[in-house]
Structure 1
């Protein structure tokens, strides 16, 4: 609900923003909203917004989780807000969501005020590329920013479930065409189901689709459009660009081709991971390849290092950071950060009755065993030294677990039998595949509890027309 009064003031235009000051004041529509997550751990690294003003100019804004807590405001996709006091920075990195050379960083002091919908601000802006515009230049462009692609949907088939290494998942494949050039599209999970349902309910055929903030990939040596956490898909959107595109194709005599008749093929089941004993693994290390993944069941009989149970990790590669002059430096990337990501790392003694070996439990595994995070543990016991192991971690001793171990170069060379546990599993490998403790779930909203924990599992969100995205921060 918008606040009762809008501040009567002149607003800065997004196109006029530059880096020399922070006292900017803008009014903008939040056209898209999504989190940036650590792909391995699910930790929320920040939140992204695309802001659009009444000059039809848009910019990308980024917010760290701690900053959202300090600001303490609700922000939802599809709302109009006044933003006051923020930093303007040069854009860097790949897969930029918009083509502008600057972006915004919200500060703890940034003020946000919800206002009534402004009919002067358009609800959508796309830097659209038609399918026929794709070329070698576009292939190089894909490394720089996300793509907004428009075309007619062809070779449509409803979403279906297929077996994968992590169990069955929904997938949707179709073609996007301008009558001459055709690109494949592949969607997974909740996004595949939502788009499939929306397509079936569309009465105007053929359907024009805009796939916003997507990526260009290669599948079997052919270009293909894939989804990102930021991807939104709009079907027969009521904007001029869609009507012009449809009219041009009709004038050119475009006719949607009949759906091809395909034989029903049952894909072969994904190969299950092999289960080994610690003894067999240790005695046959040189027969494995680097980065081979195997399953092992063992009992955690002891924690060998009770002081070094967490570390500051690089946000990109998760290697341990060095603190240099109030900065955290990663020697692998190499990059420097103003803060480090706190992650678990436990050195434990594993015993499966055939052999006892030292293993490293990574952050993903410890979080699932202890059902908490490093940040939460430190916040709940601020008086205790950070080096003192919390009781909840000691409680994992005695548990029997089935885990996934990733073999390192030192392992397969026979130089080390300290194994790295990268995931925790449940179930049994006898007669069925192992199911992982890392389900893929949708992320429909950002709640206070999620930003407190900084732990979520991310599924590619659904279209913004069908699901409301929201960052909720209790005042």
Structure 2
């Protein structure tokens, strides 16, 4: 039994899933919707035998199957479970559909059915946070296993599966450890096969299955502890290492070779001084993979190539300029790191507060200008239009250097000039935006908190010019953007 978490969510679940096994060792998947979870979950527990009535059946899903059965069961609040004593013939506790390591190459990127593997755990890479698809941070750890022929394969555990995997307990054990990993996706990375966990992946340590006896015979003399692999160099900096780590200036950042430093975490102390809204500050994303949805050909629908039609999810993608006393550079912040910086979700801004104009920045984003932070960055893909790599912000840390209150006269100076006069000073305070426009939400159930910031009478011309410089408005032709099509009458958001 498992309760899968929705991808990209920390507190939303997708009901309850179960694998049922009968006396003939046939297995079938049973599903419970989230709305029925509280009714069904208390009635059943893994390992017990039940007579089950009042359920319905349906055809098994066409992709990402857990077991190779044509049908699937569905339980709800009216389903009854009568627990039975142990019966004969004995019903096995587990039913895995194990694939031989040599057959994994034939399953690369095939998603009709997820795969189970069994092996001897040889090494573990500890839990860390990784950027996924330039859009979100995700917990990750890696496990190396080998079969009785000493062939090995690497398994990447993600999200809640990684967080709940007790690597410390396994490291302290000197006995050989065997494990079955279920519901894995077969991928290829840098020419090697890598198995990735799914929301349905479960891990069984030393399960009572037929294969275990053969493995114990082969590895009976193996008393070595599980090896701990070093952490990835691209993981997020921990607070313990942040203070001692070298922070590059923006000038040093601009001359780095992206190919040499593509796997190296980069720290830079700087401030956001401008935003570029020509490509918008949010986009309509797939709620499963966070890729941008595209309009389907000859259809008025938004489509994700991997997950078919989707209800759009507003997702941050903000282009900005970082500056310090040495230089300035362009960077992009996407998804979760943007939520960390702006202290609000994109969905709340767009849907609940009604900031649907993709070229008009809300106050909550504008107010981050001038705040000195330590940015952890990495190089992204090459952009053909500029023949340079994107610079992606992975995380933001508060600057711990002492602050000096800026004077009102410094409000229009560049960071370079300000730092030249005030060594170690905080960046100038952000300029209050001329107008933060709120557009009423497309949904009749959403409310917009209308608030317009008043302009002070001091030097209005200088004020307007500063705002234009900050937002590139002098070179941007405003275009009318529409919110999710037919959002109001279809309740899609």
Alignment counterpart, residue 115 of structure 2, candidates 119, 133, 147: 147
Residue 328 (structure 1) shift: 0.4
In the alignment, structure 2 segments of 5+ residues that lack a partner are 46-51, 132-138, 238-244, 402-493
1:230 equivalent in alignment to 2:196: no
* Distance (Å, rounded) in 1 between the aligned partners of 2:222 and 2:93: 32
> Equivalent residue for 1:33?
3
Larger strand fraction of residues = 1
- RMSD over aligned Cα, in angstroms? 5.5
The 5 A counterparts of 1:292-311 are 292=262, 294-305=266-277, 308-311=280-283
> Equivalent residue for 2:44?
79
* Distance (Å, rounded) in 1 between the aligned partners of 2:179 and 2:219: 16
**Structure 2-normalised TM-score?**
0.53
Residue 362 (structure 1) shift: 1.5
- Secondary structure in 2 aligned to 1:37? coil
> Equivalent residue for 2:84?
119
Residue 213 (structure 1) shift: 2.9
Distance 1:425 1:336, change over 3 A: same
Contact 2:171–2:228, Cα closer than 8 Å, also in 1: no
**Structure 1-normalised TM-score?**
0.55
* Distance (Å, rounded) in 2 between the aligned partners of 1:100 and 1:231: 18
> Equivalent residue for 1:374?
346
Distance 1:405 1:83, change over 3 A: farther
* Distance (Å, rounded) in 2 between the aligned partners of 1:73 and 1:370: 35
Q: Which has the larger radius of gyration?
A: 2
1:134 equivalent in alignment to 2:100: yes
Residue 367 (structure 1) shift: 0.7
> Equivalent residue for 1:386?
356
* Distance (Å, rounded) in 2 between the aligned partners of 1:190 and 1:337: 30
Residue 346 (structure 1) shift: 2.6
Contact 1:298–1:402, Cα closer than 8 Å, also in 2: yes
Contact 2:5–2:11, Cα closer than 8 Å, also in 1: yes
* Distance (Å, rounded) in 1 between the aligned partners of 2:54 and 2:345: 32
> Equivalent residue for 2:221?
257
Q: Deviations over 1:82-102 (max 9, x none)?
A: 88678746412xx64322356
Contact 2:285–2:313, Cα closer than 8 Å, also in 1: yes
> Equivalent residue for 2:295?
322
* Distance (Å, rounded) in 2 between the aligned partners of 1:219 and 1:304: 34
The 5 A counterparts of 1:188-337 are 190-193=163-166, 196=169, 200=173, 209-214=179-184, 228-237=198-207, 242=209, 244-245=210-211, 256-260=220-224, 270=233, 275-282=247-254, 284=255, 287-289=257-259, 292=262, 294-305=266-277, 308-314=280-286, 315-316=288-289, 318-322=291-295, 325-329=299-303, 333=305, 336-337=308-309
Distance 1:117 1:236, change over 3 A: farther
Equivalent pairs counted in the alignment come to 359
Q: Which structure has more RCO (C-alpha within 8 Å, separation ≥ 6)? A: 1
Residue 312 (structure 1) shift: 0.4
- Secondary structure in 1 aligned to 2:347? helix
The 5 A counterparts of 1:456-475 are none
> Equivalent residue for 1:51?
18
Contact 2:317–2:334, Cα closer than 8 Å, also in 1: yes
